[in-house]
Structure 1
Amino acid sequence: MTTSNSRKPSLWIALGAFALVGFGAFMFPAFIIRPFRYQSPRALFWAMTLRQGAPIICLLCAIVCFLLIAMLWRSSNKWRKVLLSLAAFAVTFSAVMSRLNYFEWMFHPVDSARFDAESSSKLAADEMILAVRYGADARAYPIREMAYHHILNDVVGGVPIAVTY
């Protein structure tokens, strides 16, 4: 595939635009939905909407980018081939990551909870907690930790529970 010199700038612009859209479709939801950061209702709405459409958007952008890269590759010098390779990596990375639930990596569950006696606890006196008592057994779960993990499986008084808020 050869292209005339007059079409090359438009091909580079198209490549940049499709690579940016493909990468943005993955990154925008990942950037907006982060732990311990305020998300406005509008931004969260758009992030969740884009998150659902990101797999197809990223795939289509990757296909177009690879076609454009194929058209530009032969006539490109070494540094432009580096740029083409970076664009290929970015859209491939985005197409793969948009299909994974990377929020499970950010909000990973607690593998094994560790509990301290009240006397040895390092929690601040004003730290908010969730408390569970069943029979003679009791547990306290710091809200700050629960805000990050969202759910914790535990056993209180011999009964399995799922602590959440």
Structure 2
Amino acid sequence: MAKKKQVMQDALATNRKARFNYAIEETFEAGVVLTGTEIKSVRAGQITIGDGFVTVNDGQAMLVNVHIASYEQGNQFNVDPLRTRVLLLHKRQIKQLDVLTKEAGITVVPLKVYLKHGYAKVLIGVGRGKKQYDKRESIKKRDMERDANRRFKR
């Protein structure tokens, strides 16, 4: 009997600050329109999504401010590393994102980039910005869990 293929690899890039700075309410999986040299760089893990965000323009979801390094052997086919990339979502999901982003304090950020069946996917999250006291509470909770795990190991 043949083995099943692995559906999802580990994340190629994660935005660790997103869950700290935003209270993520909803997530979407989106495909990304990339050129040939860009997908090679993504597969090599040369992508940074820390400063990225998602906007909706003319009925298209766009991934802005995500850096994909130029492919070393790419010569003239390399494109601008910070160019705006189109996200592939269903129309109803794009409309839903558009409505959500019109609210004050709501931001759509990329959380994770991974490969699924050979295609680059981005997990985007709709989040509301946290206040400073919420961030302090998150730090306190994380430290308490870390201390409990240390005591449990002993």
Q: Normalised by the size of structure 1, how large is the TM-score? A: 0.23
Looking at secondary structure, tell me which structure has more strand per residue: 2
Q: Which structure shows the higher helix fraction?
A: 1
